[in-house]
Amino acid sequence: MQIYVCVKHVPDSAANIHILDRDRIDENVAFLLNPYDEHAVAEAAALKKAFDGSEIIAVTLGKKDAEKTLRSAMAMGADRGILVETRESCDSMVTARALAAAIQKDGRADMILTGKESIDAEGMQTLFRIGALMDLPVLTNAVNLEMGEGTARVVCELSGGMTRTFDTPLPCVIGAGRGLNTPAYPTFPDVVKARKKPVDVIALEDLGIDTPPGSARITGLEPLVRERTPEAITGTPAEQAARIIDILKNEAKVVS
Amino acid sequence: MKKIGVLIEMENGGIKTANFGMITLAAKGNATLYALVMDDIGDNCAAALAQYGITTIVDLGLPPDPALCHNPDIRSRAAVAAVKELGLDGVFGLSTAEGRDLLPRVAALLDAPLVMDCVDVDLESNTGKTSQYSGKVMATIQLTGDIAVFGIRPNAVAAENAPVEAQSLSMNTGADLSSPLALVSRDAGQNDTAAASLAEADIIIAGGRGMKNGENFSLLFECAEKMGAAVGASRVAVDEGWVPYALQVGQTGEKVSPSVYMACGISGSIQHFAGMKTAKMIIAVNTDENAAMIANSDYYVLGDLFEILPELIKQL
C-alpha cells in the first residue's frame, strides 16, 4: 500500500503564546508534530506491518522548520517526507490544494491518513477539502480501522461514546482520533535513522495550484483571558454545599 | 439582505436547544433565515423555529432509510444542493460532534471558506470569532467568497425570542443522492445521557486526579443527576481508565462552554483549561490552595471533595 500521512508542525500546547502585531503569534516557541497526526503516523506504521511492501510518505505544508516534524514522523515509521515550503501561513483552502497536488505529483495513494484536527488553528476541515479535491471519501475521528479487500471498515466516534461504523472503498481519507491507537515513542536508533531518510522540498509556487474561490484570513488575534476574581466558599462542608446550591439557583440560575 | 441557511440538529425527535442560540446569532446579522431540516420534524418543532426568527423552514427531503439519511456524506450533499438552489450567502451549523462531521463536508463540497466553533459571527463583515492555540488566543477570521460557512459553538449565544411567520418549503434534494460511504451501524455507546450531552450541557461537574479511582465517580454521577448536569473528566482520569475518553474535557477532548463548570479535584493544566475556559462560571473544589483551577475560578471550596459532594447530594 502507498500510504500518505499529512502532518502539521504546530506550537506545543504547553507553550506560552505571544501575539505580535495583533494578527500573528511569536513563533519563537517549541514546535512539534501535531498530536492527532501522531495517531495517523502510528496507524500507517501498523498498516505497513500488515501489508508487506507498503510505503509511508509524510507530507506537510509549512516553513523550512517544518522539516523537523517530518523527521518526527519518519522516526515513528514514515519512509520519506515531502515538504511543501511556504513563507506565509496558508488557510485550509490553499493547504488542501497544496497537499493534494503534492500527493498526486508523487504517486498513487491507497490511503491518506491525518489527524482529525490540528491543535493550533483547530480548523477541523483540511482533510475534508483534500477528499473533495481528489474525489475521495472522507471519515473523521476514526477510533478503529479494519482493512478488507480494497475496502476499509472504519469506526468513527461521535460524542458520549456514540460511534458510527462505515465501509469505505479505497483510496480514502481518514482523520485519526485519539482512540485509534497508542503511538509508541520512537527509540534513539529510530531518531538517528530518520535523519538519513529522504525529504523532497517543493516550493508552494512550483506546485501550480489554482486560486481558491474564497479565503479565510486572520484579521485579529487577542489573548483569551477571562478575568475571574476567585471568592472562597467557607464554613463546614454542609454550609459550603448549601452556598454552592444557592449560587447555582440564584446567581447562575441553572438549578430550579 | 443576506440569505442564511441554518442547519438544524435534532435530538430524540426534538430540536436540540442549542439551535435556538445559533438562530439568534444569525438573526443579529439582519438576514433572511432558512432552517435547513434534514430529519422528520413535527408541527411543534416548526413553530419553535419561527419563535426565534426563521422565516422559511426547508425540508430537504432526505430518503427515510436510516442508512442513507444518517450518512453524513449524503446529508452534506443534500445541504449543498439546497444552498445552491436557494442561492444562500451563508450557512450556519452547530460545532457539535455531528456538526464537525457535517459542516466541513458542506464547506468542502461548496469549495467555500469555513470557521468552526465560533463564539460570535458578524455577517456584515463575514467574520467569525473562534479560539485557537488550546484556547489561549481568540482569533477574528474574515471569510471571502460567494458563500461563507460558520460553525457555532453550542451555548455561546443565548437564545432570544423574535417570533415571525414562517412558511414551509419542501425540496427533493435527497432523491438521487448516492455516497461511496456505507453507514453500517450506529452505536449509542453506553447510552449514557450524561455523557452524550457533554458538549451542550448547561452545567458540567467534572472530576480529576482528586477523584482517586473510577468508583468514586459515582459521586459525580449522582450529583449530576440531581443538578441536571453532565459529567466531565480531566485527561488524568481518562488515562487512568476511571471513565471513558468520551467524558474528557480539554485540548484533546471535548471543548465546552457551559453556564457553570464545577471542577472537583482538577488542578487545572493549560490543556484542561483549553477545553473549558469559556465557561461562564467556574466553581473549583480542591484541597490544594495553589491549584490553577482555584486561581482561575469564580468560586472555590478549599476542601475535601469527599466531604462536599455527599453534602451536595443530600441537600439537592
Q: How does pLDDT run across B303-315, given as a tens digit for each residue?
A: 999 999 999 999 9
Confidence tier at A36 by pLDDT (50, 70, 90): very high
End-to-end CA distance of chain A: 59
Contacts of residue B4, Cβ cutoff 8 Å, sequence gap at least 6: B26, B29, B31, B32, B33, B34, B88, B89, B90, B91, B92, B123
Please provide the DSSP assignment of B132-178 as one string. Answer: ETTTTEEEEEEEESS-EEEEE-TTSS---------EEEE--TTTT--
Contact criterion met (CB < 8 Å) for A231 and B299? yes
Provide mean pLDDT across the span B284-298: 96
Mean pLDDT of chain B: 92
Interchain CB contact of B274 with A (< 8 Å): yes
Task: For residue A131, give the C-alpha cell.
Answer: 477528499
Contact criterion met (CB < 8 Å) for A228 and B189? no
Contact criterion met (CB < 8 Å) for A230 and B136? no
Please return the burial class of A230, using the count of CB atoms within 10 Å of its CB with bins 0-12, 13-18 and 19+: middle
Provide mean pLDDT across the span A37-65: 97
Asked if residue B192 has pLDDT above 60, the reply is no
Provide mean pLDDT across the span A53-75: 98
With CA atoms as reference, the chain A residue closest to B99 would be: A158
User: Which 8-state DSSP code applies to residue B301?
Assistant: E
CA atoms of B109 and B122, how far apart (whole Å): 24
Contact criterion met (CB < 8 Å) for B138 and A167? no
Contact criterion met (CB < 8 Å) for B73 and A223? no
B17 residue type, one letter: T
Interchain CB contact of B282 with A (< 8 Å): yes
Contact criterion met (CB < 8 Å) for A241 and B311? yes
> Residue B198: its chain A contacts at CB < 8 A?
159-160
Contact criterion met (CB < 8 Å) for B296 and A228? yes
> Residue B227: its chain A contacts at CB < 8 A?
248, 254-255
Task: For residue B150, give the C-alpha cell.
Answer: 460558520
Give pLDDT, residue A230: 96
Contact criterion met (CB < 8 Å) for A161 and B117? no
Confidence tier at B194 by pLDDT (50, 70, 90): very low
> Residue A119: its chain B contacts at CB < 8 A?
133-134, 251-252
With CA atoms as reference, the chain A residue closest to B283 would be: A244
User: Which 8-state DSSP code applies to residue B249?
Assistant: B
With CA atoms as reference, the chain A residue closest to B147 would be: A214
Chain B 10-69, residues with CB within 8 Å of chain A CB atoms? none
Give the pLDDT confidence of B109-138 residue by residue, as tens digits: 999 999 999 999 999 999 999 999 988 899
Please, are residues A209 and A94 in contact by the beta-carbon 8 Å criterion? Answer: yes
Residue with cell 472562597: A232
Please, are residues A138 and A122 in contact by the beta-carbon 8 Å criterion? Answer: no
With CA atoms as reference, the chain B residue closest to A233 would be: B301
Please, are residues B263 and B288 in contact by the beta-carbon 8 Å criterion? Answer: no
Contact criterion met (CB < 8 Å) for B180 and A91? no
Residue with cell 462560571: B281
Please, are residues B33 and B6 in contact by the beta-carbon 8 Å criterion? Answer: yes
For residue A174, report the phi and psi dihedrals to the nearest 5 degrees.
-125, 125
Please return the burial class of A107, using the count of CB atoms within 10 Å of its CB with bins 0-12, 13-18 and 19+: exposed
ipTM of the complex: 0.93
Closest CA to A129 of A156, A103, A93, A105: A93
Contacts of residue B50, Cβ cutoff 8 Å, sequence gap at least 6: B57, B163, B164, B165, B166
B53: left (phi over 0), alpha (psi -120 to 50) or beta: left
CA atoms of A136 and A169, how far apart (whole Å): 9
Task: For residue A220, give the C-alpha cell.
Answer: 485579529
Task: Give the closest-approach CA distance of A188 to chain B in angstroms.
Answer: 25
Contact criterion met (CB < 8 Å) for B244 and A161? yes
Closest CA to B118 of B147, B97, B149, B144: B149
Give the pLDDT confidence of A83-138 residue by residue, as tens digits: 999 999 999 999 999 999 999 999 999 999 999 999 999 999 999 999 999 999 99
Contact criterion met (CB < 8 Å) for A254 and B297? no
A124: left (phi over 0), alpha (psi -120 to 50) or beta: left
Angle between helices B305-315 and A237-246 (to 10 degrees): 60
Asked if residue A72 has pLDDT above 90, the reply is yes
Task: Mutation target for B interface from A164, A170, A218, A219: give the one with most B CBs within 10 A.
Answer: A164
Contact criterion met (CB < 8 Å) for B144 and A125? no
> Residue B243: its chain A contacts at CB < 8 A?
none
Task: Give the closest-approach CA distance of A142 to chain B in angstroms.
Answer: 11
Closest CA to B143 of B4, B282, B296, B290: B4
Task: Give the closest-approach CA distance of B56 to chain A in angstroms.
Answer: 27
What global pTM score does this model have?
0.90
> Residue A140: in which H helix or E strand, if any?
strand A138-147
Provide mean pLDDT across the span B60-81: 93
CA atoms of B313 and B91, how far apart (whole Å): 43
Interchain CB contact of B252 with A (< 8 Å): yes
A133 residue type, one letter: L
Please, are residues A141 and B101 in contact by the beta-carbon 8 Å criterion? Answer: yes
Give pLDDT, residue B196: 52
